[in-house]
Amino acid sequence: MELVLFTAMDGLAAQIEQFRDVAVLAPSQLEQVNRLLEGAHAPDAIYLDDTRAAPLPDLWRTATLARRVGSRVLLNFAGTARSALNDAQGAGLPAISERDPAAVATWIGEQLSLRGGDGPRQCTVIAVGAAKGGIGKTFATCVLAEGVRRRGLRVLVWDSDISNPGLVPAFRIPSSAPSYLHLIQRGPAQWTASGIQPFIFRPDHTRGTSNGWGPIDFLIGSHAVARVENDVRLPDWQGFYQGAVGVEGYDIIIIDTPPDYLRRPYATHVLQMGGAVVLPTPPGARERMGVGHLLDHLRDHVPDALDRCALLFMEPERGVVATVSEVNSLFTRRYPQVGSLGVLPRAPRLASLADEHDGYVSMLDLGPHSPFAAAVHQVSDALCTRLGLTPRIPLPQSSFWERMHARWRGERGLVATA
């Protein structure tokens, strides 16, 4: 069953996800709901409430359209539209006045005869978000994926920035890798966990290892199909999200999101669905201003979920006078609910060596005892703690002599052993 939720009620979509055999779409605009209803395949049911402050006449027009195309209509008027509750019930529409997400989800399940699931899914979802390009979003996705896999966790990386798929060159993903954009073009009926499985790319160079590391697998929108005509509409992305997060076999899904967060509010959707957001935060003035704009957007749309956002600070580039501690203090005062994962130091030599390597090699392998590797492990550990993940491998440690020996050898000698 395909169910459209038009609501700003925090946690409702996550509650609905626990039912079996239901795909949830959560458009943020009533016009998007109308387009879904007018499409070739109308959804089976729609739920409308007044939490988004849409005018009552507009809600009625959408409900009328849904009934005309054969979609079931469920209404919840507990705020500004409460006066219309009796009219809705008199017209034969199922309607309640409730603001508790669990109670609303139970009522929706009863109305649509949805079956209960086997309990909450254990996979955790995080979105790596940014308000501008070039802020280090894809880099953060790479190091977080490598960091948590070395704790024994199984990782699925979803590249949602199809206009600039930086994960493709970063992980040396070949052009022959399957693209999930082809699956999106087939329509919502194919966006199930089983339908998505064949489009997951599992490269040999990020397989699980004998020392217990987990794998990194990928959902990729490749260069070959990332054209304007294949752009993913927000309702389609939201529908595909429901299937992707239901894929079994992973402890964590990391989504690299596009920077145009107003047109593609993927990070906002992840928060609305109970996930978390990581924001790379260089201390430069323009970069931190962009992070602030995105946090303001999240605070406006998901105000109760800011505690599931975390800043990932980055050591300032040469010439930047602001320090991480100063910028951290600014964000702490303005957004006290938002946490910090720590600081990633600059490692230009390791980054350059990784870029120039013939195949994929992680910066953590090129400098396993470097300050950069130590910081990545600490950041990954902080991420696991915030998300409630239980690593299967202890936090990697380097002895004093290993660090001194690596410093004496220099990073150049480590390339030969990578």
DSSP string, 5-48: EE---TTHHHHHHTBSS-EEE--SSHHHHHHHHHSSS--SEEEE
Domains of the chain from N-terminus onward: 2-112 (3.40.50.2300), 124-417 (3.40.50.300)
Give every CB contact of residue 267 below 8 A, 6+ residues apart in sequence.
127, 129, 257, 261, 277, 294, 298
Find the range with the poorest average confidence among 105-109, 115-119, 121-125.
Answer: 115-119
Task: Name the band, by pLDDT with cuts 50, 70 and 90, for residue 264.
Answer: confident
Q: Work out the percent of the chain whose per-residue pLDDT is above 90.
A: 52
Which one, of 281, 76, 256, lies nearest residue 173 by Cα? 256
Task: Specify the pTM.
Answer: 0.73
Does the pLDDT value for residue 141 go beyond 80? yes
Task: Name the band, by pLDDT with cuts 50, 70 and 90, for residue 414.
Answer: very low
Task: Name the band, by pLDDT with cuts 50, 70 and 90, for residue 143.
Answer: very high
Q: Please tell me the predicted confidence (pLDDT) of residue 418.
A: 34
Which sign, positive or negative, has the C-alpha torsion 319, 324, 330, 335? Answer: positive
Sheet order of strands, 45-49 included: 23-25, 2-6, 45-49, 72-76, 95-96
Q: Please tell me the predicted confidence (pLDDT) of residue 24.
A: 86
pLDDT by residue (tens digit) across 288-316?
A: 999 999 999 999 989 889 999 999 999 98
Of residues 172 and 401, more confidently modeled: 172
pLDDT by residue (tens digit) across 200-255?
A: 999 999 988 777 899 999 999 865 544 545 567 888 888 899 889 989 899 999 99
Total Cβ atoms within 10 A of residue 25: 26
Q: Work out the percent of the chain whose per-residue pLDDT is above 70.
A: 91
DSSP 3-state of 346:
coil
Q: Please tell me the predicted confidence (pLDDT) of residue 224.
A: 52
Which one, of 258, 262, 303, 15, lies nearest residue 141 by Cα? 258
DSSP 416: G
Does the pLDDT value for residue 368 go beyond 70? yes
Q: Please tell me the predicted confidence (pLDDT) of residue 164.
A: 75
β-strand pairing of 155-159 with 276-281: unpaired
